[in-house]
Amino acid sequence: MGKTTAEKIFDAHLVNEPFPGTKVLRLDAVLCHEITTPIAIDDLIRRGKDRVFDATKIKAVIDHVTPSKDTKTATQAKILRDWAHRHGIKDFFDIGANGVCHALFPERGFIRPGYTVIMGDSHTCTHGAFGAFAAGIGTTDLEVGILKGVCAFRQPKTIRFNVNGTLPKGVYAKDVILHIIGKIGVNGATDRVMEFHGPVIAAMTMASRMTLCNMAIEAGGTSGICQPDMTTVDYLWPFIQEEFASKEAAMADYSQWRADADAEYDQTIEIDVTSMEPTITFGYKPDQVKTVSEIAGTPVDQIYIGSCTNGRLEDLRIAAQILKGHKLAPNIRGILSPATPTVFRDATKEGLIDIFMEAGFCVTNPTCGACLGMSNGVLADGEVCASTTNRNFMGRMGKGGMVHLMSPATAAASAIEGVIADPRKYL
Amino acid sequence: MKTFGGPILFLDRSDINTDEIIPAKYLTEITKEDLKPYILEDLKLPGFDPKGEKTRNARVIVSRANFGCGSSREHAPWVFEVNGITAVIAESFARIFRQNMFNCGMAAIELPPADLDLIFTHANDDTVTMDIDIEAQALTVSGGGKQKTFPFEISPFDKALVLAGGWVDYADQKY
């Protein structure tokens, strides 16, 4: 019997199975940010266990509230910063070099096919785009990961998604994943890995695959996983060229993590994107989705483009393409937060930032900020945001605020019209 | 080992998420105790008051499917812990929330919908209580002069975590 990608990774990283059904895995990367890590650090100190299992496998960033907005967030940043320095964690990203964790760490080449990755952040599932098993965990699991380099999991079953057809104009990875979540529901993949296959995924860039895998958790999924291929190798090549003689050699090695043809799946779901339309959420749960055309004309107060879901260069390119030569509709606020300093610089060089500013957008530094209502764009009671982020829970971007999740293209079209708008007429 | 049981807080809705349990703006608190006043602050349910007596007295929460979905924040179990709530009973849980509960030595217990329907018949009885026996894998609901016991499943690993008081000490000894 063949194996899924997650099964192969589990087998290769198994430390032991302390009880039937519970597998303790060796970790390749433990990622940390300043919201969930400081309490773990504090607890390790309190227990007299202020140690790290391997400083080279721990990566840390200050990203949720940065630059710090008050004494409390400054304290969280300081705890993380001091800890990183104390333990010689070289891959620590502070102001000037920091960006949204799930955009920054892949951009630095830290995630490789076959890796096990944890972080105290639910959107860690993003990194499965590289053919890794990447799961969000809580502070206690993070603490053990930092201390011992292991994490316990129930072995998840895998749902296979065959994504077929051709993406129509104005439809992107974000629309595909919103459609899938709408189809299977917010707990449709609980304790499951979502493994994505098919020509649509094969044709996607790494950025699009990250958008897709990023929202696996919104269906309850443990990790999204894409199959490593030449697109993966090309993306990683600057970081792996000393490790492999050629790209073909890298591909040959990474192929070991591709699912076997006779792997057994919990379910196989066929998705055809050919007639798919731009998709959007309308309620307070990520599975409450409609086509944009169904709710076009709904007024919004703020446009937000950024986050670990859609704050990468290709997202900014798509939005800028639509915004070029247009202005924000009257009384609409626009906020752009490029996800990393590299995205910011590249977007500046390409003239994209100019287009956003010409349209009337405020451009902020890379940060998670507004996505979870912590800073840089919190909504007032009763306000509505057209957002490229990943979660539309009631009050998520600010108490009493409402969020519609959508692609950067739909957000840009909505910016021009001041209401939810179909991007296809601008393409 | 923590104690489990006492007055019940009934939250009759599926998909209660971590942002409703503890909004992100409070994630800047450094100690668990500082989270205490903000329990379930953004949860809107008919008749539910996050600052009310029922919330204050509760030791157990009974809810429906997919409890704790959303963020990985362990602040969700912690805000329950510092308010004296050490167990949540639901039809199902989001993975990260469930594991966070056990990692903290608390209990996230699944019951079939039919059992939950029976327990929810007590939702308007302020005197109803629950006793949870982790070893015996059974919980007993007492109210209106009657008692009913429901068996439940718990994985051997999760049971070991509850008995050990959490994952950190367990892991540091074994790995």
Model pLDDT for residues A290-319, shown as the tens digit of each residue:
999 999 999 999 999 999 999 999 999 999
| Cβ–Cβ below 8 Å for A373 and B69 | no
Measured CA distances, A73 to A80, A373, B25 (Å): 11, 14, 11
pLDDT for the residue numbered B65: 98
Which of A42, A148, A187 shows the shortest C-beta gap to B172?
Answer: A148
Residue A137 in contact with partner chain B when CB distance is under 8 A: yes
Query: Please, what is the angle between helix A313-323 and helix A408-417, to 10°?
Result: 30
What ipTM describes this predicted complex?
Answer: 0.94
User: pLDDT tier at B59 (50, 70, 90 boundaries)?
Assistant: very high
Task: Give residue A246's pLDDT band: very low, low, confident or very high (50, 70, 90).
Answer: very high
**Considering only residues 144 to 163 of chain B, which have any Cβ-Cβ distance to chain A shorter than 8 Å?**
155-157, 160
Q: Which two tokens stand for residue A362?
A: 């405020």
Distance linking the first and last C-alpha atoms of chain A: 47
Nearest 5°: CA angle at B120, between B114 and B125? 150
Q: Tell me whether residues A373 and B71 touch, CB distance under 8 A.
A: no
* Cα distance between residue A30 and residue A57, in whole Å: 6
What is d(CA B144, CA A123) in angstroms, rounded to the nearest whole number?
Answer: 45
3-state secondary structure of A33: strand
Average pLDDT over residues B58-75: 97
Tell me what the pLDDT averaged over chain A comes to: 97
Q: Does B34 touch chain A (CB under 8 A)?
A: no
Considering only CB atoms, A138 lies closest to which of B30, B74, B155, namely B74
Q: Find the CB nearest B168 among A64, A121, A143.
A: A143
State the smallest CA–CA distance between residue A124 and chain B in angstroms: 10
CA-nearest of A298, A278, A52 to A177 is A278
In this predicted structure, the answer to whether residue A14 has a pLDDT above a threshold of 80 is: yes
Q: Does B25 contact chain A (CB < 8 Å)?
A: yes
**If pLDDT is split at 50, 70 and 90, which confidence band does B164 have?**
confident
Tokens 């900020």 — which residue?
Answer: A369
Torsion region of A307: left, alpha or beta (phi above 0 gives left; psi -120 to 50 gives alpha)? left
Structural domain spans, chain A: 5-270, 280-426
The residue among A19, A43, A71, A122 with the most chain B CBs within 10 A of its CB, best to mutate, is A122
Q: Do B19 and A147 touch (CB under 8 A)?
A: no
What is the reported pLDDT for A88? Answer: 98
Of B15, B169, B175, the CB nearest to A15: B175
Q: How far apart, in whole angstroms, are the C-alpha atoms of residue B17 and residue B20?
A: 5
- The predicted structure's pLDDT at residue A39: 93
Asked whether A164 and A200 are in contact (CB, 8 A), the reply is: yes
CATH architecture of A5-270: 2-Layer Sandwich (3.30)
β-pairing, A150-154 with A22-26? Answer: antiparallel
CB A414 within 8 A of CB A386: yes
Nearest residue in chain B measured CA to CA from A401: B42
Contacts of B26 in chain A (CB under 8 A): none
Q: Do B24 and A372 touch (CB under 8 A)?
A: yes
A280-426 architecture in CATH?
A: 2-Layer Sandwich (3.30)
Q: List the beta bridge partners of residue A32.
A: A60
CB contact under 8 A, B74 and A39: yes
How many residue pairs from chains A and B have C-beta atoms closer than 8 A? 146
Question: Please, which residues 384-423 of chain A have a Cβ atom closer than 8 Å to chain B?
Answer: 391, 393-396, 399
**pLDDT for the residue numbered B31:** 85
Contact between B157 and A373 using a beta-carbon 8 Å cutoff: no
Average pLDDT for residues B141-147, to the nearest whole number?
A: 93
Buried b (16+ CB within 10 A) or exposed e, B16-34: bbbbbbbbbbbbbbeebee
Which domain does B44 fall in, by range?
A: 5-174
Q: What is the pLDDT of residue B3?
A: 81
Q: Is B171 on the interface with A (CB under 8 A)?
A: yes
pLDDT tens per residue, range A71-117: 999 999 999 999 999 999 999 999 999 999 999 999 999 999 999 99
A interface test, pick of B14, B28, B48 with most A CB neighbours within 10 Å: B28
Compute CA distances B45 → A78, A138, B14, B42, B98, whole Å. Answer: 38, 27, 11, 10, 22
Count of domains observed in chain B: 1
Domain A5-270 identical in fold to domain A280-426: yes
- Among candidates A38, A75, A120 on the partner chain, residue whose Cβ is nearest the Cβ of B72: A120
CA–CA separation, B175 vs A150, rounded Å? 8
Cβ under 8 Å to B: A residues 80-109: none
Nearest residue of chain B to residue A125 (CA atoms): B72
Chain A residue whose CA is closest to B160: A19
The pTM for the full model equals: 0.97
Q: What percent of chain A has pLDDT above 70?
A: 100
> Which among B19, B77, B93 is the nearest to A395, CB-wise?
B19
CB of B63 within 8 Å of a chain A CB? The answer is no
A373/B74 CB distance under 8 A: no
What average pLDDT does this structure show over A268-290?
98
CATH number of B162's domain? 3.20.19.10
